[in-house]
Amino acid sequence: MRLADYTDYALRVLLYCAQHADRLVTVGEIAERQGLAKNQVMKIVADLAHAGLLETVRGRSGGVRLMRPAAEIRVGDVVRLSETDLRLTECFDHRSNRCTLTAECGLRGVFARALHAFFGVLDSVTLGDLSAPARSRRSGSQGVRDISGTASKPLQRAAVAGPRALTAKATKPEAVAVRRVRPGEPAPA
């Protein structure tokens, strides 16, 4: 399974804003630091602002910042928002499914449990957990460990036992109104 580049870029934009929560950042700055095209970043910022994750400030000294604290933005919610197709196989879509094995095949259930476990992990991590300022404030922490290619014992048990074995609660993201702020106005609390 591979996430779309758009999702990767959206997470990078949000993490950059989380790392610089003390100030407004510009689209040009994000594009330059992340090695992305400015037009791509503008589209992503517009979409994230529309979704209530980023606040945009117009004008000469404008820019963008997180609309909520980084600790309140779950990675799983961003992935759900950014990904357009989470069907792992054809049988996930009843309208276009042409597989002749669907009735007797258990593979769909296995993939559904795996997807649930995947989002269980992503829902347990916030931008605050991943941003550099948050990591450096934790005492004795070595930061976030790269676990690509490995699975923790709870995750391995969840994959075998099914979605009810996961302890992370998946909730729908709250609807948040987008509010534009003029330069010089204080950030919302």
What's the rounded mean pLDDT across residues 66-92? 90
- Residue 42 CB partners (closer than 8 Å, separation 6+): 27
What's the rounded mean pLDDT across residues 115-120? 93
pLDDT in the model for residue 151: 40
Instruction: Give the span between the Cα atoms of 178 and 14, in whole angstroms.
Output: 16
Range of weakest confidence among 21-35, 119-133, 168-182: 168-182
What's the rounded mean pLDDT across residues 143-153? 42
Q: Which of 77, 87, 112, 89 is nearest to 7 (CA)?
A: 77
Select the more confidently predicted residue: 178 or 73: 73
Q: How confident is the model at residue 185 (pLDDT cuts 50, 70, 90)?
A: low
pLDDT in the model for residue 133: 55
Select the more confidently predicted residue: 181 or 90: 90
pLDDT in the model for residue 85: 84
* The model's pTM: 0.68
The winner for highest mean pLDDT among 102-106, 116-120, 153-157, 162-166 is 116-120
Q: Which of 92, 3, 87, 18 is nearest to 48 (CA)?
A: 18
